[in-house]
Amino acid sequence: MNAPPLIRSIRRAAQVQMPTTRCVWRQVMRPAQMRFNSSIAPTHSDMPTAAVENTPENEKSPADNVRMPRAVQALYLAPLRRECEYGVPSADLQLRSYSKRGLELFSDFALRAAYYLGLPAFGPVPLPRITERWTVPRSHFIFKKSQENFERITMRRLIQIRDGHPETVQVWLAFLQKHAYPGVGMKANMWEFDKLGVGKEMDTLAEASKELLEPQWAHAGQGKVPTSLTKAKALEELFKKEKHVEAVERIKDEIMTMRQKHASGFSLSDTPRGAIIFSGIQPTGVPHLGNYLGALLRWVQLQDATAADKSTQLFYSVVDLHALTSVQATNSASNGAVLRQRRRETLAAMLAIGLDPDRCVLFYQSAVPAHSELMWLLSCTASVGYLSRMTQWKSKLQLKDDASFSDEKARAGLKLGLFSYPVLMAADVLVHRATHVPVGEDQSQHLEFAREVASGFNHVHGQPLLVPPTTLLSPARRIMSLQQPTQKMSKSHADERSRILLTDDDKTVRSKIMAALTDSTNAVTYDLKTRPGVSNLLELLALVEGDNLYRAVTSSNASIEVAAQALATEMEGKTLGVLKKRVAEAVIGRLAGVRDRFADVLELDGGAYLDRVADHGAKQARNNTAETMDAVRTAIGL
């Protein structure tokens, strides 16, 4: 049998060191063994005198054909072993097999291949056996025994390469994998080591980093934003190396602020001319204080900021189709009446906070069929994999962010409407050709999906049919719950005291704030980590107190924290009761006018005024979507 090509080529290069003298024990080996052992043979000087025969084959006695022990064979391999200089392990190869014969045969083959490649190989070292035992009961008892016992023994050998070049070791392992012996498993571990003197290089790097660190300390200490995003990233990496954790967090906030500026393209107080702004709110009933300070107040600020620019269009929708994804009792005959009432209350709240129906387009989402039509057309090109990575349906089902379809709970509770929720949201924005969409940070993922869908749709049809929107991220912090200050204020919370509705009277607002969860320390301090309840009240006071109506939507997180800290310093030595009373009076003063206007709008003309506003806005919205849908239908061929 011929040797493998790699060994054959190496053997030709080392003919001087590789004598080809035939020996007696080689002639009686099996073909498979001859394949691996044909290239290694002892010389006349190494072999015993009786082992070398010059007589013809027919004159040899049967005793001369006895195969020599492997221990004796290993001695003949000694001249081929390469000596290691440092003794540093480069790779460990573990061989496993149920057959001892095949394991020893392949171990011998692996050692020979390592010798030919010039690798200092050591072994094979026997490792402890792995014994597995199990019992299988019989299906019936007609036999004498009612069960059978089985045992399987796995034998192992370890071969170690020392001072081997990593590339040579990889060639060796690849060769063994190519010529793997049946029934023998392999598992290899490789190590790579850096050169000596790495510690000295790290000391030099630390000294060189001071030249970049020292000029930036003044900026980092005062919290100033670096001049460019590139410098901020470089400084962040430097701080990571030096383990300045607080400085790294500060730089991350600065980078996020700059990213928000790049994502928005403009500030809320400086809207571009000719922009189309779209946003929506679900009809969950009367909005609470978090809705008002987080989203609704921003709509009013956008309206006032663009009052002199008639080319800027504002579309605000009550997205009642999105509300259908919420779990509702199917056996209740009043579901329709409840949804209709909530839609009217949401629209009345939009008018009560100051939105002008002559300046803004206020409408119900279901009154514009183009939203649903475009949603279906986009669903034909939307990626299911992208939708499965969205967090909306996972949060609604109270699943982890890494949940997938393989989760049994996800399969049991997930509905198609909830899963395709982002597609409908993308259709809401794209059908109006919105250039800017004001959303919170938790909704920015949906805007990224809308841009992805628009780009994919335009690419498929080869023309810019849909306008990718720009995200307007809110700089303000979320309004937190009064009973669970680590969670945002929500209507889904079971405790009604956790939220303040826009229609709550003075007595109700005062009682909810006085019952707000704080802690046992009866002092006013600002610390978000250790005292979240007190810090929440201080931030709420900073947002609603004063003459700046739009402070909640124009102030950044840093400025809100500074204002809250200033209030804590001002109220130093005061009790929590004094703080709660001050917060209650500030909230009552801010919501007094909104509550009165809400009741007036809801009852004006017996409710006919709301219907006229909704019909007028729906007509304007349908006219605006007609242009988009005509272009889309023509491109598709409908």
Spell out where 345-388 has E strands: 361-364
Q: What per-residue string of b and e applies to 278-306 under the rule 16 or more CB within 10 Å gives b?
A: bbbbbbbbbbbbbbbbbbbbbbbbbbebb
Distance CA 598, CA 351 (A): 8
Token pair 């790779």: residue: 91
Q: Which residues lie across from 130 on neighbouring strands? A: 154
Can you give the three-state secondary structure of 303-353, one letter per residue?
Answer: HHHCCCCCCCEEEEEECHHHHCCCCCCCCCCCHHHHHHHHHHHHHHHHHHC
Q: Which residues lie across from 155 on neighbouring strands? A: 97
Residue 337, token pair as written in the block: 């009446």
- CA distances 506 to 500, 501, 517, 586, 595, Å, are 11, 11, 19, 11, 10
Distance CA 623, CA 178 (A): 69
The continuous run of DSSP H or E covering 9 comes out as helix 5-13
Spell out where 138-197 has E strands: 147-162, 184-190
Token pair 């779990």: residue: 327
The continuous run of DSSP H or E covering 91 comes out as strand 89-97
Ramachandran angles phi, psi of 332, nearest 5°: -95, 125
The continuous run of DSSP H or E covering 200 comes out as helix 198-222
Catalytic residues: 396, 488, 491
Q: CB neighbours of 383 closer than 8 A, spacing ≥ 6?
A: 452
For residue 276, give the 3-state DSSP assignment: strand
The continuous run of DSSP H or E covering 97 comes out as strand 89-97
Helical ranges in 55-95 per DSSP H: 70-76
Q: Which residues lie across from 281 on neighbouring strands? A: 318
